[in-house]
Amino acid sequence: MYLAVVVLLMGVFPILSILIESAFHSDASLVFLIGKWFVFWAVGMRLLLAGVRQMANPAFTADTIFGIKDKAAQIIVRELGFANFAIGVLGGLSLLNREWVVPAAIAGGLFYGLAGALHLRKGDRNTNENIAMISDLFIFVVLALYLAATLFKPA
């Protein structure tokens, strides 16, 4: 179930959204559509849902992702849920205000890049942590390329 949610929110839904919008609005640039839809789905919906889950059931992330059974870790996971929720709200609302796409891509990209690097440094990862690491680093790269194309384009 975890893998399916990650694949849908961080790959399938953004790509389908890009294809659908480009079919109906051919004037929108591909770079903008990549930013818009990856920010909405991968930053907005993915982090929003993760945040809600971590706030409501911190044991899932502590145990299933990180393999930590100590109940004391749940307090930290719940706070991680607050951060995920906050960044997710920004990413979700970026759909309503295109000027929020870049700030949401920066916040989400930094989060995913740092989280992915942390997972990468850990040697003994379980399957769910490998899924988190790969998806985190994938979205980091997508958002970094989008930001580079958007912020550093020639005048």
pLDDT along the chain (155 residues), means of 10: 94 97 87 97 98 95 86 93 98 97 98 96 89 97 97 80
Number of Cα atoms under 13 Å in the Cβ half of residue 60: 13
- The answer to whether 84 and 115 have CB atoms below 8 angstroms apart is no
What pLDDT shows up at residue 155?
64
What pLDDT shows up at residue 89?
98
d(CA 117, CA 16): 28
Of the chain, the end-to-end C-alpha distance in Å amounts to 45
What pLDDT shows up at residue 134?
97
Domain boundaries, the chain: 2-151
d(CA 130, CA 23): 35
pTM to 2 decimals? 0.92
Q: Which of 100, 111, 94 is nearest to 44 (CA)?
A: 94
Q: Exposed, middle or buried, 136 (CB in 10 Å: 0-12/13-18/19+)? A: buried
d(CA 65, CA 59): 9
